[in-house]
Amino acid sequence: MPHSFEFKFTGNIHVHSMDRQAGIFIGERNSAVGWSAHGKANNVIGGISGKSNLLYENVLILNDPDLIDTPIDDRDIHMSIENEGKEKTSNFTVESVIVNSMQQNSLVSVGEGHVTGMDANEKSNEPHGSIYGNGNISLGNYNINNDQDVLDAIMEDQDIKIANVNKVE
More confident residue, 84 or 153: 153
Phi, psi of 60 (to 5 degrees): -120, 120
Q: What's at 116, amino acid-wise?
A: T
d(CA 84, CA 89): 14
Q: Give 30-41 pLDDT, tens digit per residue.
A: 777 778 788 888
Q: What is the pLDDT of residues 38-63, one digit of tens each?
A: 888 888 887 777 788 888 888 888 88
pLDDT digit string, tens, across residues 71-120:
888 887 777 777 666 666 677 777 888 888 887 778 888 777 777 777 77
Burial label for 1, CB within 10 Å (0-12, 13-18, 19+), is exposed
Looking from the CA of 101 toward its CB, the CA atoms found within 13 Å total 9
User: Among 4-8, 31-35, 70-74, 122-126, whose mean pLDDT is lowest?
Assistant: 4-8
**Residue 39: strand pairing partners:** 122
